[in-house]
């Protein structure tokens, strides 16, 4: 079948990255997944997604400024498919993705793109789903998708879908992307990964500074080059891992402090100095 154009308007949205201020595994569930505890905050490193209705026999065409692999494996495509049955105007869509968030970095770029797609197509296709309904769909696509639908810095439990609004001080972050891809399956199956951290109370935790990411020791074992990469930096002991890797970040209200660390990095290592955010709205934007 050919999907007809109902409107030729292009809709553009930002799609933000996140960091984990800490990340614990508290146990294994009956369904085989693991219960987590984390504290999410956003950063203003972001992709842009533009949605343009087209006349086409395919539901979705995806273009990007980078190579993104097979369409069927992409979370943008999977998010679109998950909404198809709810849409009153299921037009074919061409998505132009301007990718700035590195992939496989622990920054949630793919999950953020999926959340943005759900919100955008909910409007374009007139699905009329509530945010709670979108969250239920989102968690089936990936454990990090709900936080991007939620759009607020939050304490997370369950597999990441139980969210409680919890802001943290907004400041700067130096994000470093080591030159390797962290394999989540390999990391989760590592015998030294701690999977039984005691549960914490969101009310009791005021500052995540001394809380850890349980995946860091495993990353250090599997990728010892990380230690060398950070060893030359003035504040090497203060860097934290986000997600299951591979990005590390340093928080500070002092921009110059982060700049000094950034300038000490080896040539060719990707890095960004960004602002942290407690609110990352998924709303229409000027794509310029």
Q: Report, as residue numbers or ranges, the catalytic residues.
A: 18, 144
User: Secondary structure of 273-286 in the HEC alphabet?
Assistant: EEEEECECCCCECC
Q: Looking at 17-155, list the stretches that DSSP marks H as alpha helix, in order from N- to C-terminal side.
A: 75-83, 109-124, 131-141, 145-150
Number of residues that this document lists for the chain: 288
The DSSP bridge pattern shows strands 154-157 and 162-165 to be antiparallel
Cβ proximity of 115 and 27 under 8 Å: no
Burial of 87 (0-12, 13-18, 19+ CB in 10 A): middle
Q: Which of 156, 154, 119, 137 is nearest to 42 (CA)?
A: 154
* 3's tokens: 């999907």
């Amino acid at each position: 079948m050919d999907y007809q154009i109902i409107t030729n308007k292009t809709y553009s949205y930002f799609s933000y990255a996140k960091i984990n201020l800490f990340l614990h595994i508290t146990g294994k569930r009956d369904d085989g997944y693991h219960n987590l505890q984390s504290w999410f905050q956003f950063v203003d490193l972001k992709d842009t997604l533009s949605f343009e209705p087209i006349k086409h026999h395919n539901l979705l065409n995806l273009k990007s400024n980078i190579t993104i692999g097979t369409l069927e494996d992409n979370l943008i495509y999977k998010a679109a498919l998950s909404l198809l049955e709810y849409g009153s105007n299921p037009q074919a869509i061409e998505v132009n993705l301007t990718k700035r968030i590195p992939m496989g970095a622990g920054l949630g770029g793919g999950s953020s793109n999926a959340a943005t797609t759900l919100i955008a197509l909910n409007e374009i296709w007139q699905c009329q789903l509530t945010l709670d309904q979108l969250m239920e769909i989102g968690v089936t696509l990936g454990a990090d998708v709900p936080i991007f639908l939620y759009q607020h810095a939050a304490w997370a439990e369950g597999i990441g879908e139980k969210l409680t609004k919890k802001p943290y001080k907004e400041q700067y972050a130096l994000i470093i992307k080591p030159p390797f891809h962290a394999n989540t399956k390999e990391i989760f199956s590592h015998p030294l990964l701690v999977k039984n951290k005691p549960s914490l109370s969101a009310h009791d935790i005021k500052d995540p500074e001394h809380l850890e990411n349980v995946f860091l020791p495993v990353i250090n074992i599997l990728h010892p080059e990380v230690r060398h990469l950070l060893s030359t930096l003035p504040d090497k002991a203060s860097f934290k891992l986000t997600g299951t890797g591979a990005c590390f970040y340093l928080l500070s209200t002092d921009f110059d402090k982060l700049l000094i660390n950034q300038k000490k990095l080896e040539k060719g290592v990707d890095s960004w100095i960004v602002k942290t955010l407690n609110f990352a709205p998924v709303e229409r934007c000027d794509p310029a």
